[in-house]
Amino acid sequence: MSSATSKALRLLVVEDADDDYRILLREVRRAGYDVVAERVTNASELAKALEQKWDLLITDWMLPGFGGLQAIEMAIAHTDGMPCIVISGTPNEDEAMSAMRAGALDFLSKDRPMRFAPAIERALREASETRAKVAFEKALRLSEERYRSAFELAPEALLTFDLDGLEIVDANLAAAKLYGRSVEQLRTGNFVDNSAVTLADGRDSLAVATDILLRMRAGQSIAPFEWLARNSDGEEIPVEVHLVRLAGDNPRLVRLTVIDLRERRKLEEVRQRTIELELQNRRIQEANRLKSEFLANMSHELRTPLNAIIGFSELLHDGQVPPTSPEHHEFLGDILTSGKHLLQLINDVLDLAKVEAGKLDFRPEKVDLSKLVNEIVSITRTTAAQKRINVDQTVSPELVDIVLDPGRFKQVAYNFLSNALKFTPEQGRVMVRCLPDTAETFRLEVEDTGVGIAPSDLGRLFVEFQQLEQGTAKKHQGTGLGLALSRRLVEAQGGSVGVHSTPNTGSTFHAVLPRQHIVVPSLPRTLTPKARTGTRTILIVEDDDRDRELIASTLAGVGYGFEIARTGRDALARCQERPFDAVTLDLLLPDMSGLDVLDTLRVGGWLRDTPVIVVTIVPDVKTAMSVSEILRKPLDGSALLSALERAGVRPGSAQVPVGGGE
Amino acid sequence: MSRILIVDDNPTNLKLVSYVVKAHGHDVATAGDAMAALASIEQQRPTLILMDLQLPGIDGLELTRRLKADPTTRSIPIIAVTAYAMKGDLEKALAAGCDDYVTKPIDTRTLPDVIARHVARAERAS
């Protein structure tokens, strides 16, 4: 029984007979073992030899003062399962039994040396198999322990759910903490029992869970979803659930990772609130600045007519102007005119204050629009004549049975008309028109051949205290109140205002008003323009803080509403929640490319025709997709406003079609 | 006889100030904007200028700066006459080079004295 290759064997032999030892070694070598052997004859020698490592112990059964049984017991006690074989000169059944019981793998007779080698081979094989099995079992035990402790002590709440029994079969400590129940209570409970009846989005939790269960059973994988857990106190906790089918022999087990979202939500809220406060602070500062500016303007505008009133009165009172002179009468006229101008200013300011306080009165009555328009044109006749401006007026004969407050209508028409006269050069033309709009509304239009307005300025026209020309070089006098007041008056009647303008060609201001006055509950408003119903809302997709704030404050400054998305995923979520009037899109977002976001939204139908303005540092962007405009960073706020104007998205004129056909 | 140039874009104010100035024996020239003012100065150098600060196009502050930068007009006294009476407006006017500052509404009884004082000083200097 020799093997082709020699096999190393460290052999320890307990044998007192030299011949027997020699025969044994011969047989072992013959079997092909490259043997290293040591012979001992008593307990102390064996004990010493056992300090070394051996592959196999072969022991004689009967030795003087020592025995095979004892040798086996020592070997097994001192080693890690060392294989032992007994070779006896006088074998019998009883000895064999006791040897095997003590752990010997074989019991051979010295008379049959040819059996030695096969027995050794078998013993070595058995020992090796035993060692492997022990090692495997140890590894398995360790792995299981590791897994258990990873499960038990994981920071996330973990549940194991049985798709067949519909039971939670296992839960960890974090789950117990989250749900306020013991692990035992959670086990054998149902997932739905530990959920709110109605989810945050209003869906029935049982129905949703059933749907998910069916999909899991059908072998589908389930994306993480938000859920409302319910703890033992009945408190509802927003959580995110991840479902994973457990690998192994039971395919019906599912691992649920339940992540408490409260902390995350709180952080998000704090962050959102911080941004809101910052923006609010900016808006307040801006409003403050505008108010100071407004006060300075008001002071100037009030002093101008007062200069004439007080100055001329002083001259007359001091007797410096003879009562018979033509100047005497003329100066009295100047005092009168200036007084009236002053009154107009004060009325405008009071009206604005009333609008701000939501206390504007309307006295609607049946009116003749032609008559009202005629009155307005008459009032401004002198101004028009001075500049030789031709004023035309038309009122559609369809517009009968109009019920509105004539005074308020004239106020708006007067503001539009005097504004047109102010900005139209000599010998220009101004047209005042009343036209049907819808069955319920009509349209007042005042068109001029004036200087026009730059697109970037259009958004500021109807905002309080905003005069397009700042500083002392204001060419056109005014309090900056007329158009803002007009807008407020029209909106308070449920209408809207708008403007269409071409620089150096002219402008058309219009108001859409109800044919029958309807009462619109007017709410107190702050002096700053802020989000209202009908405000255009822009989605700002931008991860850079500074750019985002620049865009947000630019938009807020002229009366746009806005929402913010910092990531592509956030943008997708927001667009699926509500429509936006326009989107500003950064291309380099932390989680995905801006163009991928756009692609998803366009293809998904969430942004069918919504204008998208790309704001990017990427030079030479090439996109096949429909993008309104591409603006380069660093961003110029007025360029953004102009782009929105060109896209037809203007603040606070949501119902008014602006652009062509006017 | 001293010549006073009144620069104001508001015709009523121009009329008022002109009347007051004439009544105190000065010659009066008027201008509604900066270009008209420059033309008037070119044509006949005034003894003193009453300058409204809010003018269309080039404003009164800028016009004052130009006149004070030009050696040929630097010595003409300029009195700002303005309805800007908020904090800082006086400083702005003086910084631009105005020699004095009068707010609207003007005092028709004291304005002639202010004019006379500056005219006297200008005549002494020349």
Residue B80 near residue B60 (C-beta atoms within 8 A): yes
pLDDT, one tens digit per residue, over A560-588 is 888 889 888 888 888 877 788 899 998 88
pLDDT beneath 50: ranges in chain B: none
Task: Answer whether B13 sits within 8 Å of A299, measured CB to CB.
Answer: no
pLDDT value of residue B48:
96
Nearest by CB to A299, which of B20, B60, B85? B85
**CA A320/CA A331 separation, integer angstroms:** 12
Tell me the pLDDT tens digit for each residue of A368-407.
999 999 988 988 888 888 889 999 999 999 998 899 999 8
Question: Which pLDDT tens digit goes with each residue over A51-103?
Answer: 999 999 999 998 888 888 999 999 988 887 789 999 998 888 888 999 999 88
pLDDT score at A451: 82
Q: How far apart are CA A200 and CA A555, in angstroms?
A: 32
Helical axes A406-423 vs A482-492, angle rounded to 10°: 150
Give dist(CA A325, CA A329) in Å, integer. Answer: 7
Backbone angles phi, psi at A441, to 5 degrees: -125, 160
Instruction: Yes or no: say if B59 and B53 are a contact pair by the CB < 8 Å rule.
Output: yes
Q: Which residues of A touch B103 (CB under 8 A)?
A: 303
Report CA dihedral (A177, A181, A185, A187) to the nearest 10 degrees. -30
Q: Which two tokens stand for residue A333?
A: 């006229």
| Region A409-428 average pLDDT | 89
Q: What is the CATH number for B78?
A: 3.40.50.2300
Is omega for the bond preceding A64 within 30 degrees of 0, making it cis? no
Distances (CA, A) of A382 to A15, A376, A377, A387, B48: 142, 12, 10, 9, 35
pLDDT of residue A622: 62
Q: Is the dihedral of CA A69, A72, A73, A74 positive or negative?
A: positive
Tokens of A156: 């996330």
Residues of chain B with C-beta less than 8 angstroms from the C-beta of A469: none
Whole-number pLDDT of residue B105: 92
Dump the DSSP string for A315-357.
Answer: HHHTT-S-TTSHHHHHHHHHHHHHHHHHHHHHHHHHHHHHHHH
Q: How far is A299 from chain B (nearest CA, A)?
A: 7
Query: How far from the centroid of its chain's Cα atoms is residue B69's Cα?
Result: 16
Nearest beta carbon to residue B83 from set A307, A312, A475: A307
What pLDDT was estimated at residue A371?
93
User: CA angle, A603 as apex, A600 and A604 as ends, to 5°?
Assistant: 75
Of A296, A307, A334, the CB nearest to B106: A307
A14-47: pLDDT as tens digits? 999 999 999 999 999 988 899 999 999 999 999 9
Which chain B residues are closer than 8 Å to A321 by Cβ?
Answer: 19
Q: Which domain holds residue B108?
A: 3-125
pLDDT at A579: 81
Distance CA A273, CA A446 (A): 44
The verdict on a CB contact (< 8 Å) between B12 and A475 is no
Q: Is the pLDDT of residue A228 over 80?
A: yes
Three-class SS state of A33: strand
Interface of B with A in 40-79 (CB under 8 A): 53-62
Residue A607 confidence class, pLDDT cut points 50, 70, 90:
confident
Strand order in the sheet with A225-230: A167-171, A157-162, A253-260, A236-245, A225-230
Instruction: Say how many CB pairs under 8 Å bridge A and B.
Output: 83
A473 and B106 within 8 Å at the Cβ level: the answer is: no
- Give B-chain residues touching A300 at CB under 8 angstroms: 54, 83-85
Q: Is A296's CB within 8 Å of B86's CB?
A: yes
Tell me the mean pLDDT in the region A589-618.
Answer: 79
pLDDT at A359 over 80: no
**Secondary structure letter of residue A542 according to DSSP:** -
**What pLDDT score was predicted for residue A389?**
92
Name the percent of chain A lying above pLDDT 90. Answer: 31
Best mutation target among A310, A467, A472 (most B Cβ atoms within 10 Å) is A472
- Identify the pLDDT of residue A525: 39
> What does A254-313 look like in DSSP terms, one character per residue?
EEEEEEE-HHHHHHHHHHHHHHHHHHHHHHHHHHHHHHHHHHHHHHHHHHHHHHHHHHHH
Contact A179, A194 (CB under 8 A): yes
Q: What is the distance between the alpha carbons of residues B15 and A655, in angstroms, rounded to a whole number?
A: 48
Find the CB nearest A473 among B12, B56, B103: B56
The span from the CA of B23 to the CA of A628, in Å, is 66
- What pLDDT score does A623 carry? 59
Cβ <8 Å between B12 and A337: yes
- DSSP E strands in B32-82: the ranges are 48-51, 78-82
The pLDDT mean for chain A works out to 84
The residue with tokens 């942004």 is: A607
Distances in whole angstroms, Cα of residue B44 to Cα of each of B2, B29, B97, B99: 11, 9, 21, 20
Residues 6+ apart with CB under 8 A from B101: B79, B80, B82, B90, B93, B94
* Closest residue of chain B to A334, computed from CA coordinates: B12
Tell me whether residues A311 and B108 touch, CB distance under 8 A.
Answer: yes
Chain Cα centroid distance, residue A654: 26
Task: Determine the Cα–Cα distance for residues A48 and A166; give it in Å rounded to an integer.
Answer: 63
Q: Based on the structure, what is the number of domains in chain B? A: 1
At residue A52, the 3 state secondary structure works out as: coil
Nearest CA in chain A to B32: A475
- What confidence tier does A464 reach under pLDDT thresholds 50, 70, 90? low
Distance CA A1, CA A117 (A): 7
At A521 the pLDDT is 47
- The contacts of residue A466 (CB under 8 Å, 6+ apart) are A290, A460, A480, A484
Largest CA distance in chain B: 36
Shortest distance between the Cα of B31 and any Cα of chain A, in A, equals 15
Of residues A301, A311, A473, nearest to B16 (C-beta): A311
The contact set of A with B (CB < 8 A) is 295-296, 299-301, 303-304, 306-312, 314-315, 318, 320-321, 327, 331, 334, 337-338, 471-475
Residues of B in contact with A304 (CB under 8 A): 10, 13, 83, 104
- Which of A282-296, A337-351, A540-554, A614-628 is least confident? A614-628
Enclosing H/E stretch for A439: none
Residue A404's DSSP bridge partners are A365
